Structure 1
């Protein structure tokens, strides 16, 4: 059964005439009459008896109205509930973030202070999640985005920094060229034990002397601060230690490649008000994120 035609039929019964229903629904009277006739042909019954004084329900029309009226009223209530919820920005926002991406933690705290009725769930992982399968509204992703079903908003670019403690450099010497890293204990990020560690330093690809690999930058930073290894860190994880001179940047004339950071979300025709509000808030907060990711290292 045609839902729109049934909705028109219910409106006719509620107001008592075709002309009043057409005015209420904002459609031409001939269109309303045609849709009611089509509904009667589809159901193979007469629903309304028409007269100069208006319309009257037939027995079949009465039965249809009893059932259709309740269903349409429930649908309208559901629609109003969804609209009201979106208007008041209450609900859940499901996000995916890279592990250890600390600047975004501050953004989320500020977002929830602004919108306290939005419950945020964060799924933190290094793997590339399937937003549809994993039920994620928006993901923050490092690297190039090639997915026709997704919208990508570029938000940030930065470079990781090669660092070591003064203690280690006193013992092993300050490397002047990338190839010198083949004789100094190094640690690198890897998602698996058999993943090779290669650093592209200003176009020179080197395989350092790796004594540790981990998929946790906090662990790598701790070992670098202890004077055990040279490692590469995101700038926001290295900034405080560099300012305090507990870590020193290495080979600034041979920078690591630039990282592209994007917000991605499914290519829906109508993203929810919560998702749209989150994306707009991220855009407004970006200057603070960029500041956290800036470390100027002179060559």
Structure 2
């Protein structure tokens, strides 16, 4: 049985006439009349007696109305319950973040303070996850988007900063050009043990002789602050130590490449209210993240 046509039939009975029901439903009268006749043909029974004064239920129509109206009311109650739950934002939000992406920790904390009914699961990894297979609602991705079937919402761009401690600069001197880095002990971010690392500094490429390779920017920051190495750091890790003069930016005239940051999620026709609210919250929170990444702030 055509459920949409059944809902239209119930609407006609409640309205008392086809024309009134068509007006309330916002559809042409001929279309509504045709859908009711199709339903009658499908059920092989007359449901309505039509006259100039309106419509009247047949015995079969009365039986169908009694049962269908109860079912439709139950469906509406269920729909309202779902909408109400979504409006209160009670549920679970599953996120994927790059490791050590600290600004987003503060964002998630602020989001949960605003929406305490949302339980957040965060999976931190450098691995490119399959959002559908791994059950992730929204992923924060650094770099190019390789999954063309996913929806990507650009949020910001930034460049890593080459830094060293004042103590290390005093020891080795301030480098004036990229090749001068060869005389410094360097630490690099690497995704694999055997990964070859190159620093693209403007149009210059340097292959540092790394005394340390790690996929943990917090580790690199610690070693730089300790006066051990030159390294590259995301601006949200470098900004505060630079302002406090515990780190010194190097070779600012030779900037590292720009990274694009995107929120990525599966292309559902109707993302949940929780996901939509989270995406909007991220957009509104961005000025605070940009400020955190501002070395001169």
- Give the TM bin, normalised by the shorter chain: 0.7 to 0.9
Corresponding residue of 1:286? 286
Partners in 2 of 1:27 and 1:170 — Cα distance?
79
Corresponding residue of 2:45? 46
TM (norm. structure 2) is: 0.83
Paired residues of 2:239 and 2:296 also in contact (CA < 8 A)? no
Paired residues of 1:48 and 1:55 also in contact (CA < 8 A)? yes
CA RMSD of aligned residues (A): 3.1
Corresponding residue of 2:58? 56
Partners in 2 of 1:56 and 1:240 — Cα distance?
79
Q: How much does 1:85 deviate?
A: 2.5
Q: How much does 1:178 deviate?
A: 1.8
Q: How much does 1:245 deviate?
A: 2.8
**Cα distance change, pair 19–252 in 1 and its aligned pair in 2 (3 A):** closer
Partners in 2 of 1:15 and 1:161 — Cα distance?
69
**Cα distance change, pair 2–230 in 1 and its aligned pair in 2 (3 A):** same
Q: How much does 1:202 deviate?
A: 1.6
Q: Report the secondary structure of 1:133's partner residue.
A: coil
TM (norm. structure 1) is: 0.82
**Cα distance change, pair 187–42 in 1 and its aligned pair in 2 (3 A):** same
Partners in 1 of 2:241 and 2:20 — Cα distance?
75
Corresponding residue of 1:233? 233
Corresponding residue of 2:110? 110
Q: Residues 161-176 of structure 1 correspond to what in structure 2 (within 5 A)? A: 161-176=161-176
Corresponding residue of 1:181? 181
Q: Residues 193-272 of structure 1 correspond to what in structure 2 (within 5 A)? A: 193-272=193-272
Q: Residues 25-174 of structure 1 correspond to what in structure 2 (within 5 A)? A: 25=25, 27=27, 30-43=30-43, 45-46=44-45, 48=47, 50=49, 54-58=56-60, 62=63, 68-69=68-69, 71-145=71-145, 147-174=147-174
**Cα distance change, pair 128–67 in 1 and its aligned pair in 2 (3 A):** farther
Paired residues of 1:18 and 1:55 also in contact (CA < 8 A)? no
Q: Say yes or no: does 1:192 pair with 2:192.
A: yes
Partners in 1 of 2:50 and 2:197 — Cα distance?
85
Q: How many residues align?
A: 294
Q: Report the secondary structure of 1:264's partner residue.
A: strand
Partners in 1 of 2:20 and 2:268 — Cα distance?
37
Paired residues of 2:96 and 2:139 also in contact (CA < 8 A)? yes
Q: Report the secondary structure of 2:279's partner residue.
A: helix
Q: Residues 8-27 of structure 1 correspond to what in structure 2 (within 5 A)? A: 8-11=8-11, 25=25, 27=27
Q: How much does 1:250 deviate?
A: 1.8
**What runs of 5+ residues in structure 2 fail to find an aligned partner?**
none
Q: How much does 1:252 deviate?
A: 1.9
Partners in 2 of 1:234 and 1:20 — Cα distance?
64
Partners in 2 of 1:295 and 1:137 — Cα distance?
32
Partners in 2 of 1:51 and 1:207 — Cα distance?
86
Q: How much does 1:189 deviate?
A: 1.1
Paired residues of 1:22 and 1:29 also in contact (CA < 8 A)? yes
